[in-house]
Amino acid sequence: SALRLVLNRQPEHLAARVALAESYRVAGRPADAVAEYEHAAKLPAVGPDVRAGLVRAKAARVRAKGPAGVGDDPAELLAVAHY
């Protein structure tokens, strides 16, 4: 995809990283979305929208797999949200 091409050349491109994460979340690929949002959250100039996206992606992962064995507990989701 075009987003992957951008990120191959500029791995620190925040907008492309967030767009890819969101496209994964919408496509029903929450584990991939979480990975991209976690990468984005480590980049400079990250705002609360990225952390909110990470929480949404983690919540989608919990819904997709069920809470057992996922490793995301409510306290972790809140910690990410209030980071």
d(CA 76, CA 26): 22
Rg (CA), the chain: 13
What does pTM read for this prediction? 0.78
72-79: average pLDDT:
62
Q: Which residues lie below 8 Å from residue 64, measured CB to CB, with a gap of 6+?
A: 28, 30
**The pLDDT of residue 1:** 82
pLDDT, residue 77, reads 59
How confident is the model at residue 69, as a pLDDT? 46
Residue 51 backbone class (left: φ over 0; alpha: ψ -120 to 50; beta: rest): alpha
Give the separation between CA 11 and CA 61, rounded to whole angstroms.
24
Q: Does residue 54 have a pLDDT over 60?
A: yes
User: pLDDT digit string (tens) for 1-45?
Assistant: 899 999 999 999 999 999 999 999 999 999 999 999 999 999 988
